Amino acid sequence: MDIFEPYFKAGEIARKTRAFATSLIKSGVSVLDLCEKIEGFIKSQGGEPAFPCNICINEVAAHYTAEYMDSLRIPEQSIVKMDLGVHIDGFIVDTAITVALDEKYMLLKEAAEEALRKALKSIRASVSVYDIGETISKVASTYNLKPIRNLSGHEIARYNLHAGISIPNIPLQGGKFKLYGVYAVEPFITEHWASGTVIESTKPVIYRCLSYKKIRDTEANVLLKTLWSRFKGLPFAERWIHNMNLKCNVQNAWFKLKNSNLIKSYRPLVEISKGSVAQAEETILVVEDGVIELTGFPL
């Protein structure tokens, strides 16, 4: 199992970071400060963020991270998803929790956690992702809630957060879990009256380099080369670029680069009918007798 040691190290950092982050999530807290403290904690423990810390509030389900100079604060009586990733030399783990700042959201939180717990107990090598989607969907139904049908977990590979098969939250045909495969399982649950579907909303706040090739614009090329070298195709936040000390006009270079076909953008994903959303996530390694929970989600 020595080849998986980087995953175990990343998982331990993610476990500590998740506990640290949970203690910070309170009404009135700056989302920018929260993201930067969580990302800084990961680095202080010897890891690197595998993607920008996501802080998603109420009907925002995924892909929101603080913008540069972001003024957003955690609202009172809200439900907050905190999704973080850690990598050691490209070996990634991914975990998320929900913090309910009002009693009315506890059912959503509990349903997401129970769906994750039951899903993890069902996973073995050669088990179909259809069965896991069915398990998650049944738990949601038991709570009189709905799974998000167009969000899913994912296989993970080195420097590749979304590799191979997806793990749906509803029964959908797909692949099967492989022995020694690494996967992030993440139920998303919303309210019974909601659509159960997310759509893209507002402007992108997360980006990813698709490849590196030399481009004619000198400043944009310096920035692209730096982004590819530093992140190797993993997601990054626009605010991270403002902290780079480069010998070019970073703002001008980024303006040119982000509109090129070398950069993929990710917009926040919002439940289409404004239903509040809860999330729970664990990264697992599939072994002969079941799974190893790499980030030790508190179940």
- C-alpha span between 281 and 298 (Å, rounded): 10
Which of the residues 48, 281, 282, 293 is marked catalytic? 281
Stretch (H or E) spanning 169: none
Distance of alpha carbon 51 from its chain centroid, rounded?
Answer: 7
Q: List Cβ neighbours of 261 (8 Å cut-off, separation of 6 or more).
A: 210
Q: Which of 12, 83, 238, 271 is catalytic?
A: 83
* Residue 70 annotated in active site: no
63, 154, 155, 191: which is the annotated catalytic residue?
A: 154
Catalytic residue among 48, 94, 282, 293: 94
Q: Is 192 a catalytic residue?
A: no
User: How would you class 71 by CB atoms within 10 Å of its CB: exposed for 0-12, middle for 13-18, buried for 19 or more?
Assistant: exposed
Q: Calculate the alpha carbon distances from 5 to 84, 155, 195, 284, 291 in Å.
A: 20, 18, 41, 13, 15
Annotated active-site residue in 36, 67, 131, 162? 162
CA distances, 21 to each of 9, 108, 138, 163, 180 (Å): 18, 20, 30, 27, 29
Active site includes 113? no
Active site residue 39: no
Of 186, 191, 219, 282, the catalytic one is 186
- The sign of the dihedral angle between the CA atoms of 285, 287, 290, 292 is negative
Active site (catalytic) residues: 83, 94, 154, 162, 186, 281
